Amino acid sequence: MTTPAEAFAPAKVNLTLHVTGRRDDGYHLLDSLVMFADIGDRVTVRPADEISLSVTGPFAEGVPNDARNLCWRAAQAFGAPVAITLDKQLPAAAGVGGGSSDAAAVLRAMEAAFGRPAPVDPLTLGADVPVCTVAHAAHMAGIGERVLPLTMAPIPAVLVNPGVSVATPEVFAALASPDNAPMTPWPEGGGTAATLRWLATQRNDLQAPAIACAPVIAEVLDALKGADLARMSGSGATCFGLFEDAAAAEACAAELSAAHPGWWVRATTLR
């Protein structure tokens, strides 16, 4: 490797998240439709004598720059020393897969740089990492290791994070029932309107327990009630509003940014 390699780490959005069971080891069985935004973090890897990590960007504060960071562990697992730069544009511990998407991006960048596939089972880095290696629409099942890429119509969206971080294990612990119905079959290959109609009949089973942990999430969902569909992503606290029309998503984002200057609000397209 002689030149730096860069990779984009898009925000992951769980359009649905059905918790269908709990394994003996405490991990939950999930059934989730996942799409990715056109906003995200950016990682760069450069040749070096040892692994290092420098974190920049608006959400750098509090992000570890050592082996606690999944980027670092991804490089370790790949088995080559690199200096990693992480431009943190996404809020951390926010339900949009920031750390997992960053780790998947490090693997992609290192694959490009070293010209060989990552000798790593992405699941060993975290349950959300396998879907983040795909980085476009997919059905995720098992505890996250079963990933089936899907063809879905792009969906205009607004992502909103109220600035509270929610710990995923706490949200799972607050889940009343770990044994809920799976998703019904989705309209793969249908248009955005058909997808929105189907999504309205599905759920995020972590939304109620996350609201119990962080009540401001209910305020965010209320602020998004003008969207065709509003729901929380992952274990929160980021919520999304979906729209048939990109101009409506832009208008909603402008309105919410003005009304809630402390919130992180972004219009995007999910793919």
Among 11, 12, 18, 28, binds ligand C5P (CB under 6 A): 28
Among the listed residues 30, 51, 74, 152, the single contact to ligand C5P using CB under 6 A: 30
Q: How far is 29 from 45, CA to CA, in rounded Å?
A: 34
Confirm or reject binding of residue 128 to ligand C5P (CB under 6 A): yes
Residues 6+ apart with CB under 8 A from 102: 9, 41, 43, 69, 70, 71, 74, 86
Min separation Cβ 26 and ligand C5P, Å:
6
* Position 37 contacts ligand C5P (CB under 6 A): no
Q: Does 175 bind ligand C5P (CB under 6 A)?
A: no
Annotated catalytic residue within 41, 87, 128, 205:
128
61-69, 130-138, 166-174, 188-196 -> range binding ligand C5P (CB under 6 A): 166-174
Q: Which two tokens stand for residue 107?
A: 């693997």
Place of tokens 């880095």: 125
If 0-12 CB within 10 Å is exposed, 13-18 middle and 19+ buried, where does residue 4 land?
middle
Positive or negative torsion for Cα 165, 170, 176, 178: positive
**Under rule CB under 6 A, which residues in 249-268 are in contact with ligand C5P?**
none
Interacting span for ligand C5P (CB under 6 A) from 48-56, 145-153, 165-173, 190-198: 165-173
**Does 165 carry a binding-site annotation?**
no
Q: In what order do the strands lie in the sheet with 239-242?
A: 229-232, 239-242, 155-161, 264-270
Is residue 143 involved in binding ligand C5P (CB under 6 A)? yes
59 binds ligand C5P (CB under 6 A): no
> Segment near ligand C5P (CB under 6 A), from 10-18, 26-34, 149-157, 247-255?
26-34
Active-site entry in 12, 31, 88, 228: 12
41 binds ligand C5P (CB under 6 A): no
Phi, psi values for residue 112, rounded to 5°: -65, -40
DSSP letters, 236-260, are: SS-EEEE-SSHHHHHHHHHHHHHH-
Which of 148, 247 has the CB closer to ligand C5P?
148
* Interatomic CA distance for residues 263 and 161, integer angstroms: 6
For residue 33, what are the β-bridge partners? 139
Task: Identify whether 245 is a catalytic site residue.
Answer: no
Residues carrying an active site annotation: 12, 128
Q: Name the binding residues for ATP.
A: 91-101
